[in-house]
Amino acid sequence: MRYLIPGDYMADPAAHVFNGKLYIYPSHDRESGVSENDNGDHFNMKDYHVFSMDDIEGPVTDHGIVLDVKDIPWAGRQLWDSDVACKNGKYYMYFPLKDKTDIFRIGVAVSDRPEGPFLPQDNPIKGSYSIDPAVFEEGGKYYMYFGGLWGGQLQRYRNNKALESAVLPQGGEPALCARIARLSDDMLEFAEEPRDVVLLDENGKALTAGDSKRRFFEASWIHKYNGKYYFSYSTGDTHLLCYATGDNPYGPFIYQGVILTPVVGWTTHHAIVEFKGKWYLFHHDSVPSGGKTWLRSLKVTELVYDDLGAIKTIDGGGDR
């Protein structure tokens, strides 16, 4: 495993290959002095950098600040995990940010280049909520996965409508799901109502809220390997990166196993990407900051499948 950007704190990597280069779109952690709580107020990030690499072993280029919260017209606070998609030579950055009423929405910013800078739209995506957008393209269609519990506010919604107050299902009740929505042709809005990304156990039963080592918490990612769709995510308070496989982008997905055991730090987050014939896991931990969970550092390691397409579990190095 290699730390990618030793000089600064970066987390929540999205990674994509554009024009033969590997681009990393992380959150930019900083010491803001906000104390730690279950709402994640201590993740008080205010800008994004973009990084690129010609080779996985080679130097990492920092393209500088590409979007700043002060330039986003609808901004309240907290720029969390972003992702970038390319369509017809334009690059679309999707980012979660609390609006002026402290509700997370998902915004879009546009650039002509993968390394930015990105120009934000005046308003967030209509009907968007919660955090952690991840965009997947297939056959010219683009799908956004999103959602996150606790500070990510997903428990405040059912059927895409805000509840009067948050309700977290308990015990044997079905767990809350990540959401998926196809994007409009101009990439700036949802083209449909978001749907649940249903995760099933080996018997075809939906994972329950009490199944905290397997149920979805946050940090959606999706990739395709040997014709199968791999939906991967964090289990949050049990600190695992897990995956489930399905036959199409909407799922349902059947739980398969753990990709990464707990790291040092509370959050775990990742991207999986193929680059020059090998597969890689980008993720973060809090080792360099001495365990401060809001000051995370980016890492990369090779990801290996067995002959049946199962991902070999990687040791995150945490002691939970």
Min dist CB 159 to ligand FUB, Å, is 23
Q: Which is nearer to ligand FUB, 97 or 207 (CB)?
A: 97
Nearer to ligand FUB, 111 or 153 (CB): 153
Residue 164 C-beta: closest distance to ligand FUB, Å: 25
Question: Minimum distance between the CB of residue 309 and ligand FUB, rounded to whole angstroms?
Answer: 26
Any contact of residue 12 with ligand FUB (CB under 6 A)? yes
Least distance CB 26 / ligand FUB (angstroms): 9
End-to-end CA distance of the chain: 20
Per DSSP, the three-state class of 308 is coil
Among 111, 153, 232, 267, binds ligand FUB (CB under 6 A): 267
Please give the DSSP secondary-structure letter assigned to residue 228: E
Q: Which of 28, 21, 22 is nearest to 5 (CA)?
A: 28
Position 227, amino acid: G
Q: Does 81 bind ligand FUB (CB under 6 A)?
A: yes
Q: Give whichever of 148 and 262 is closer to ligand FUB, judged by the CB atom.
A: 148
Site string for ligand FUB, 169-208 (x = CB under 6 A): ----------------------------------------
Q: Would you say 43 or 91 has its CB closer to ligand FUB?
A: 43
Q: Is 218 in the site for ligand FUB (CB under 6 A)?
A: yes
Partners of 30 in the β-ladder: none
Nearer to ligand FUB, 48 or 80 (CB): 80
> Any contact of residue 131 with ligand FUB (CB under 6 A)?
yes
Q: Does 80 bind ligand FUB (CB under 6 A)?
A: yes
Q: How far apart are CA 251 and CA 94, in angstroms?
A: 22
Compute the least distance from the CB of residue 78 to ligand FUB, in Å: 8
Please report whether residue 285 would count as binding ligand FUB according to CB under 6 A: no
Should residue 132 be labelled a site residue for ligand FUB when binding is judged by CB under 6 A?
A: yes
Q: Taking the complex as a whole, how short is the minimal distance between the CB of residue 7 and ligand FUB, in angstroms? A: 19
At residue 150, the 3 state secondary structure works out as helix
CA 281/CA 172 separation, integer angstroms: 32
How many binding residues for ligand FUB (CB under 6 A)?
13
CA distance 95 to 81: 6
Comparison of 13 and 117: residue with beta carbon closer to ligand FUB: 13
**Burial bucket for residue 58 (CB in 10 Å: 0-12, 13-18, 19+):** exposed
- Catalytically annotated residues: 12, 218
Please tell me the distance from the alpha carbon of residue 130 to that of residue 107, in angstroms, as a whole number: 11
| Of 5, 14, 26, 27, the one binding ligand FUB by CB under 6 A | 27
Side-chain-side CA neighbours of 305 within 13 Å: the count stands at: 17
Query: Which positions ≥6 away from 180 have C-beta within 8 Å?
Result: 143, 144, 145, 194, 195, 196, 197, 249, 250, 251
Q: Cα 312 vs. chain centroid, distance in angstroms?
A: 21
* Nearest distance in Å: CB 79, ligand FUB: 9
Please tell me the distance from the alpha carbon of residue 123 to that of residue 35, in angstroms, as a whole number: 29
d(CA 165, CA 30): 31
* Cβ proximity of 97 and 73 under 8 Å: no
What are the residues binding ligand FUB (CB under 6 A)?
11-12, 27, 43, 80-81, 131-132, 148, 218-219, 267, 269
